[in-house]
Structure 1
Amino acid sequence: MSAERRIVITADDFGMNPASSRIVCDLVASGRVSAVTALANSDDLPAQLNMLRDAGLSSVGLHHEATGGEIADELREQHSRLTDCGMDVIRLDSHCGALYTPEALPAALEFCTHFSLAFRMPRTFPTQFFAEGDSPMRALHAQAVAAADRLGVALPDVMLTNTTPYQDLASYEQLRDSYIAMLDDVPVGVSEVFVHPGVDDAKRQWEARLVVDSQWLEALEERDIRVVDRW
């Protein structure tokens, strides 16, 4: 087993709008993000995915959006939209957390098994999103990790992002420093840092700036963390 610390740097929400997609494509082309998750219900999806291919990336994660239907049907339909555009779908995750419920998780893991997809759910309980003492959620998480292992679904070791609403961030520097501090929590293995580069608000603009910031790049190098494209 490798003793390396590795991270996937993911740009979420690809397809939200063409302007944000162009920013993500530039970050892909420059090697500053190593993976992308796509919103399959986006307007003008084929053109935006063509931009991504031109930037050098032909594989994406399915960033599932709940539309009020059956989870299994939504997953199949959204997966087909991406593959019909010529993309290789390699992993599954959830926009706004719709898949991370007792009702949806079994369908998500079964879908991953059927299509040989990795799944965004960390092996380590994500205290960024849930209270340390949330016993019911801890139990659900442990059961889901065990089920993923039983089914052969790959999971990241740790999942990291900045969860502070943009209006509560005092400055870009505060955001950047929070991400750099997160790198100290990256264990041996493969983890994920996900960001939302775009134009829609200050936080998305700052996250686009973060991944090209020299201090961020130096922090990765100083900690000997290698960037990879999948777990």
Structure 2
Amino acid sequence: MSRRLVVTADDVGRSRADSEVVLDLFAEGAVSAVTIMPVTPFAEAAADAVAGRPGVRVHVTLTSDDDVPPWRPLTAAPSLVTADGFLHTDPVAASRGSTADVLAEVAAQLGWVRDRVGAVAAVDAHTSVLYGLHGATWLEATLAFCGEEGLGFRLPRDGAPYLLPHEAAPFAGAHARAVVAADRHGVPIPAAVLTNRTSAAEHGSYARLLDSYLDTLAKLPEGTSELFCHPGVPGDDDAATLRGWEARMLRDPRFTDRLAEEGIAVVDHW
């Protein structure tokens, strides 16, 4: 067995400027997959830009972000929205939504992307609310839906590279049950998932962020894994700094050379 890696840029549609960065990276081949947020104002143009290309996934969006104007769901989704009809920014409030509303919204977002882009191999989630980390109990039903639709799901078979050391024990049981459910429903899942969960301030420099990613590549297990990141326009705040650094990393020869050195093939789906 060999090691393969889906290199994903998340959050297409979140903002116009960041979407343009991601779409450029996708056009250049610097990433092999992108995820589209169907509820945002910039999703339509993004979908047009990637129509017909492999590697496009649905970034199921059940919450708004607090640094951009709030988003409305594609369905009525009464249990998922505020009094004004917008998706909650508070993940705990969002997690009180009904399973029926969640599945209807997931189906609508999937249909939206299929109608504009074509085939979709997998879905994943914007923020961690769909995974139940804030109290929601939707994951089993979502995996059943993915099995019925022939979709993969972003759920690492090996949680170690993604989970921080203090999270491994508390989440071990829930993670093991989710993997069993994915297998029961015939849902493809990645062998491991790599991403950055450290702030720019904690890294201190681009070089240290790059080193952290390079170190994780050497630890990839056999099979097909995923590295997902959030490239975008660099800025002064911590999140924008990270987006700029990740965009730079994806074009950095040291990153692509390390993939070759490790014998890791880049693919567009797991």
Q: Choose from 8, 15, 29 the match for 2:13.
A: 15
Report if the CA contact (8 A) 2:50-2:117 is conserved. Answer: no
What is the deviation of 1:47? Answer: 1.4
User: What is the CA-CA distance between 1:164 and the residue it aligns to?
Assistant: 0.5
C-alpha displacement of 1:86: 3.4
The aligned counterpart of 2:32 is 34
Task: Give 2:44's match in structure 1, choosing from 11, 29, 46.
Answer: 46
Question: Which residue matches 2:246?
Answer: 207
1:60 correspondence with 2:56: yes
The answer for the alignment partner of 2:119 in structure 1 is 88
Query: Quick one: structure 1 residues 126 and 75, their matched pair in 2 at CA, closer, same or farther if it must change by over 3 Å?
Result: farther
Q: What is the CA–CA distance in structure 1 between the aligned matches of 2:143 and 2:137, rounded to whole Å?
A: 11
- Report if the CA contact (8 A) 1:117-1:153 is conserved: yes
- Aligned with 2:232: secondary structure? coil
Counterpart of 1:26, as a letter, is: D
- Equivalent of 2:227, from 193, 198, 207? 193
CA distance in 2, matches of 1:32, 1:44: 21
Structure 1 vs Structure 2 CA RMSD: 1.8
Alignment correspondent of 2:71: none
| Residues 176-219 of structure 1 deviation map (CA, whole Å, 9 limit, x = unaligned) | 11100010111111011111111161110110110110111111
Partner of 2:194: 160
Query: What CA distance in whole angstroms lies between the structure 2 residues aligned with 1:169 and 1:29?
Result: 29
TM-score, structure 1 normalization = 0.91
**Which amino acid counterpart does residue 7 of structure 2 have in structure 1?**
I
Is the contact between residue 33 and residue 54 of structure 2 (CA under 8 Å) also seen in structure 1?
A: no
Within the alignment, does 1:228 sit opposite 2:267 as a pair? yes
Unaligned runs of 5+ in 1: none
Q: What is the percent sequence identity of the aligned residues?
A: 39
| 1:125/1:49 CA distance change after superposition, 3 Å | same
For residue 148 of structure 1, report the CA deviation from its aligned partner: 0.9
Query: What are the ranges of 5 or more consecutive residues in structure 2 without an aligned counterpart?
Result: 64-79, 81-96, 235-239
- Which structure is richer in relative contact order (CA contacts within 8 A, separation 6 or more)? 1
Instruction: Give the number of equivalent residue pairs.
Output: 227
Match of 1:25 in 2: 23
Distance 1:183 1:127 in 2: 10
Q: How far apart are the structure 2 equivalents of 1:127 and 1:209?
A: 22
SS of corresponding position for 2:207: helix
Looking at structure 1, the residues matched to 115 and 11 of structure 2 have their Cα atoms a distance apart, in angstroms, of 19
1:152 is paired with a residue whose SS is coil
Q: How does 1:109-188 map to 2 (within 5 A)?
A: 109-126=143-160, 128-131=162-165, 134-188=168-222
Task: Name 2:84's counterpart in structure 1.
Answer: none
Structure whose residues are more often strand by fraction: 1
C-alpha displacement of 1:133: 6.5
TM-score by length of 2: 0.78
Q: Post-superposition shift, 1:57?
A: 2.5
Q: Deviations over 1:210-229 (max 9, x none)?
A: 01101111111111111011
SS at match of 2:127: helix
Cα distance change of structure 1 residues 86 and 9 upon mapping to structure 2, 3 Å threshold = closer
Contact 1:59/1:87 (8 A) holds in 2 = no
* Shift, 1:131, TM fit: 4.1
Contact 1:71 1:107 (C-alpha < 8 Å) held by counterparts: no
Question: Cα deviations across residues 34-72 of structure 1 (Å, max 9, x unaligned)?
Answer: 01111110103221211223xx72552111111415211
